[in-house]
Amino acid sequence: MKSAIYLGLAESYAGYQQICHSPSCAVEITTPRPFAGLAAFASADGVHWKKLRQEPVLPPSPKTMCDSQNVAFWSAAEGVYVCYYRVFKQFATGGIRWVARTTSKDFLRWTPPVEMTFGDAPPEHLYTNQTSPYFRAPHIYSASLRALCPEGRC
């Protein structure tokens, strides 16, 4: 059986889980309530988990939300783990839910988030992203975004 690593809540969690496969393990991200950061865990059997370090690997910040589906996977094309998650971004029209990405060579130390850009498209609340490599061309990532209409206007 493959070993597994898990990126989950620093404290306790309530929510769903997203599992993606890497060359040597499964990667999982969970949703925090309340957000105390995302922590890294490891398991040899996928049942018994051990926290890899006490402090969160993705600490809380005013912009980092991670309260919807957080997607992490091993990118063979980039040679790093990639995580797409929700942040809060300010526009001239106000703050909205947005998608950012971060990378890690070891699943413990992550780069500062980079907010996604969508050309000239008007800003919309983006609640989930479901980003993953396309199986026939793993250097291309496909994302199914879900917009949120908090005021009922879309």
Extract the tokens encoding 143: 């994302």
How do residues 49-71 score in pLDDT, each as one tens digit?
888 888 888 887 777 776 677 78
Q: Which residues contact 58 (CB under 8 A, 6 or more apart)?
A: 7, 37, 38, 64, 66, 83, 85, 102, 110
Q: Are 70 and 31 in contact (CB under 8 A)?
A: yes
Q: What whole-number percentage of the chain has pLDDT above 90?
A: 18
Residues of the chain with confidence (pLDDT) below 70: 1-35, 66-67, 151-154
How many residues in total does the chain contain?
A: 154
This prediction's pTM: 0.74
* Per-residue DSSP letter, 105: S
Extract the tokens encoding 142: 């496909």
How do residues 120-140 score in pLDDT, each as one tens digit?
888 888 888 889 999 999 999
Q: Are 18 and 57 in contact (CB under 8 A)?
A: no
Q: Rg of the chain over CA atoms, in angstroms?
A: 16
